[in-house]
Amino acid sequence: MPRRARQLAETKLYHVMLRGVNRDAVFLEDEDRERFLHALLQAKTASGCLVLAYCLMTNHVHLVVQTPDEPISLVMKRLGVRYVGWFNRKYSRVGHLFESRFASLPVEDDAYLITLLRYVWNNPVKAGMVARAEDYPWSSRSPLGRDAGLLDRATLERLVPAEVLDGPLPGPDPAARFDGAKTGRPALYSEMDAGDLLRNACGATGPDDFGILDAGAQLRAIRELRTRSVPYAQLARITGWSATRLKRVQVAGLRVDEEPQADQKGTVPFWSAAPDPCAG
């Protein structure tokens, strides 16, 4: 069956979402997020698009962009080629990083644009990562009001009232105390079910057993459970590894230590330094 044609906006204004394959992480550390914003700036310069908002989450990205000169698909291709190429080289991986087709919705009126901006900015609040949208450093809500280089502030000010750009955002529950608890979909597996999946994948019955497996068996088990959509937080509990370590192993395909260290030859591991394929 042919896939549905992408909706095109008369305003050429879009809400775009990029999500990691199988909901896996697309950013493992701040350098990755910085590189993504750099790639977005390069794509903006090459395509003439306008960036009105962004929010970089762990396994997905929200963008609000206007594309007066190029189709949205070409703008996203420019961005994807730059970032994915760099990411794959840094982590010595191959293949897709994002789901094969990015999601985009046209934005045709001012009321929806205001609702959309608030939704994008509030993503980290809804996820329990920060108390206020302004506190999250990887969202365009944070640098609003000063020159961020990437954002088209003049266009935002023309389209959106100042009280929306600079005023407080309505949160999920303004009276609720922020306690860092994440919200989202209900758990797909109980702890017992997740433990059974781990045992079936590699024979380990808990963190102690998992820790003595060879690196190949650990990697295969992690990938199998991620393919079955076991969340990283739950994987961390049943394997005894941190979520950060699990993400590195899943992305890189190799066993890594918690902190990068030089080997006997003084070579720093691949995740701490890599050439920039976008340079020049």
Please report the pLDDT score of residue 200 as a whole number.
93
Identify the domain containing residue 75 by its residue range. 13-166
Q: Is residue 8 part of a domain?
A: no
Q: Is residue 33 part of a domain?
A: yes
Q: Is residue 241 part of a domain?
A: yes
Q: At what angle do helices 232-239 and 215-227 cross, to 10 degrees?
A: 140
Q: Is residue 173 part of a domain?
A: no
Q: What are the φ and ψ backbone dihedral angles of 206, each rounded to 5 degrees?
A: 175, -175
Cβ 91 vs Cβ 26: under 8 Å = no
Beta strands in the chain, from DSSP E residues, in sequence order: 13-19, 50-56, 60-66, 103-106
pLDDT 10s digits, 22-42: 888 899 889 999 999 999 999
**Whether residues 115 and 240 fall in one domain:** no
pLDDT 10s digits, 139-170: 998 865 555 579 998 898 898 888 777 777 76
* 241 vs 252, more confident: 241
Residue 72: both structure tokens together: 């949205």
The structural domain count of the chain equals 2
Please report the pLDDT score of residue 153 as a whole number.
86
| Torsion, Cα of 272, 128, 117, 170 (10° steps) | -150
CATH of residue 81's domain is: 3.30.70.1290
* 171 vs 236, more confident: 236
Cβ 232 vs Cβ 246: under 8 Å = yes
**Whether residues 32 and 99 fall in one domain:** yes
